[in-house]
Protein backbone atom coordinates (compact mmCIF):
# COMPACT_ATOMS: atom_id res chain seq x y z
CA UNK A 1 0.00 0.00 0.00
CA UNK A 2 2.84 2.34 0.95
CA UNK A 3 4.55 1.65 -2.35
CA UNK A 4 1.41 2.64 -4.30
CA UNK A 5 1.14 5.88 -2.29
CA UNK A 6 4.77 6.72 -3.13
CA UNK A 7 4.21 5.92 -6.78
CA UNK A 8 1.09 8.14 -6.81
CA UNK A 9 3.02 10.96 -5.15
CA UNK A 10 5.80 10.59 -7.73
CA UNK A 11 3.24 10.82 -10.54
CA UNK A 12 1.65 13.94 -8.93
CA UNK A 13 5.08 15.56 -8.68
CA UNK A 14 5.86 14.70 -12.29
CA UNK A 15 2.56 16.24 -13.36
CA UNK A 16 3.34 19.35 -11.31
CA UNK A 17 6.76 19.68 -13.00
CA UNK A 18 5.17 19.24 -16.44
CA UNK A 19 2.57 21.92 -15.63
CA UNK A 20 5.29 24.31 -14.47
CA UNK A 21 7.33 23.68 -17.61
CA UNK A 22 4.26 24.19 -19.81
CA UNK A 23 3.37 27.44 -17.99
CA UNK A 24 6.92 28.71 -18.40
CA UNK A 25 6.87 27.83 -22.11
CA UNK A 26 3.52 29.63 -22.52
CA UNK A 27 4.93 32.76 -20.85
CA UNK A 28 7.99 32.66 -23.10
CA UNK A 29 5.84 32.23 -26.21
CA UNK A 30 3.49 35.05 -25.19
CA UNK A 31 6.38 37.38 -24.35
CA UNK A 32 8.10 36.61 -27.64
CA UNK A 33 4.87 37.26 -29.53
CA UNK A 34 4.29 40.57 -27.73
CA UNK A 35 7.88 41.64 -28.39
CA UNK A 36 7.57 40.77 -32.08
CA UNK A 37 4.24 42.63 -32.34
CA UNK A 38 5.82 45.70 -30.69
CA UNK A 39 8.78 45.55 -33.10
CA UNK A 40 6.47 45.30 -36.11
CA UNK A 41 4.37 48.22 -34.86
CA UNK A 42 7.45 50.39 -34.24
CA UNK A 43 8.84 49.58 -37.69
CA UNK A 44 5.51 50.49 -39.31
CA UNK A 45 5.30 53.78 -37.39
CA UNK A 46 8.90 54.56 -38.32
CA UNK A 47 8.23 53.87 -41.99
CA UNK A 48 5.10 56.06 -41.90
CA UNK A 49 7.00 58.96 -40.30
CA UNK A 50 9.82 58.54 -42.81
CA UNK A 51 7.35 58.65 -45.73
CA UNK A 52 5.65 61.73 -44.27
CA UNK A 53 8.96 63.57 -43.92
CA UNK A 54 10.04 62.54 -47.42
CA UNK A 55 6.73 63.72 -48.90
CA UNK A 56 6.93 67.03 -47.03
CA UNK A 57 10.47 67.56 -48.33
CA UNK A 58 9.27 66.83 -51.87
CA UNK A 59 6.41 69.32 -51.51
CA UNK A 60 8.74 72.01 -50.15
CA UNK A 61 11.17 71.39 -53.02
CA UNK A 62 8.30 71.69 -55.50
CA UNK A 63 7.18 74.96 -53.90
CA UNK A 64 10.75 76.26 -54.07
CA UNK A 65 11.00 75.36 -57.74
CA UNK A 66 7.50 76.54 -58.73
CA UNK A 67 7.49 79.94 -57.00
CA UNK A 68 11.21 80.52 -56.69
CA UNK A 69 11.31 81.06 -52.91
CA UNK A 70 14.14 79.74 -50.79
CA UNK A 71 15.31 79.81 -47.18
CA UNK A 72 13.74 82.43 -44.91
CA UNK A 73 11.35 83.65 -47.61
CA UNK A 74 9.94 80.14 -48.01
CA UNK A 75 9.71 79.68 -44.23
CA UNK A 76 7.84 82.96 -43.84
CA UNK A 77 5.52 82.08 -46.75
CA UNK A 78 4.68 78.69 -45.19
CA UNK A 79 4.19 80.31 -41.76
CA UNK A 80 1.82 82.95 -43.15
CA UNK A 81 -0.13 80.29 -45.06
CA UNK A 82 -0.44 78.29 -41.86
CA UNK A 83 -1.74 81.37 -40.05
CA UNK A 84 -4.21 81.95 -42.85
CA UNK A 85 -5.62 78.44 -42.32
CA UNK A 86 -6.23 79.06 -38.60
CA UNK A 87 -9.75 79.85 -37.51
CA UNK A 88 -10.12 83.33 -35.94
CA UNK A 89 -6.47 84.23 -36.73
CA UNK A 90 -5.61 87.91 -37.03
CA UNK A 91 -2.52 89.21 -38.82
CA UNK A 92 -1.31 92.78 -38.40
CA UNK A 93 1.24 94.07 -40.91
CA UNK A 94 3.37 97.21 -40.56
CA UNK A 95 2.51 97.92 -36.93
CA UNK A 96 6.02 98.39 -35.48
CA UNK A 97 6.29 100.59 -32.36
CA UNK A 98 2.51 100.67 -31.88
CA UNK A 99 0.36 99.98 -28.85
CA UNK A 100 -2.56 97.72 -29.56
CA UNK A 101 -5.54 97.07 -27.37
CA UNK A 102 -7.09 93.60 -27.31
CA UNK A 103 -9.88 93.81 -24.81
CA UNK A 104 -8.74 95.60 -21.66
CA UNK A 105 -5.05 94.64 -21.87
CA UNK A 106 -2.77 96.94 -23.89
CA UNK A 107 -0.16 95.05 -25.93
CA UNK A 108 3.01 96.72 -27.15
CA UNK A 109 4.34 95.55 -30.52
CA UNK A 110 7.90 96.69 -29.83
Q: Per residue in 60-108, pLDDT tens?
A: 888 888 888 878 888 888 888 887 788 777 766 666 666 666 655 545 5
The upper half-sphere exposure of residue 108, i.e. CA atoms within 13 Å in the direction of its Cβ, equals 2
- 106 neighbors 99 (Cβ within 8 angstroms): yes
- Yes or no: say if 63 and 69 are a contact pair by the CB < 8 Å rule: yes
Q: What is the pLDDT of residue 34?
A: 97
Residue 31 has pLDDT above 80, yes or no: yes
Once rounded to an integer, what is the mean pLDDT over residues 18-39? 97
Q: Read off φ and ψ for residue 102, nearest 5 degrees.
A: -110, 100
Evaluate if pTM is beyond 0.85.
no
> Which residues lie below 8 Å from residue 64, measured CB to CB, with a gap of 6+?
70, 74
Q: Domain ranges for the chain, please list them.
A: 1-64
Residue 31 near residue 45 (C-beta atoms within 8 A): no
Amino acid sequence: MREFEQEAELIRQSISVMRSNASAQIRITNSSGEAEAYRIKQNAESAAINKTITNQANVYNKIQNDIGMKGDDLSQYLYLNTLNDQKNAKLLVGMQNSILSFGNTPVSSK
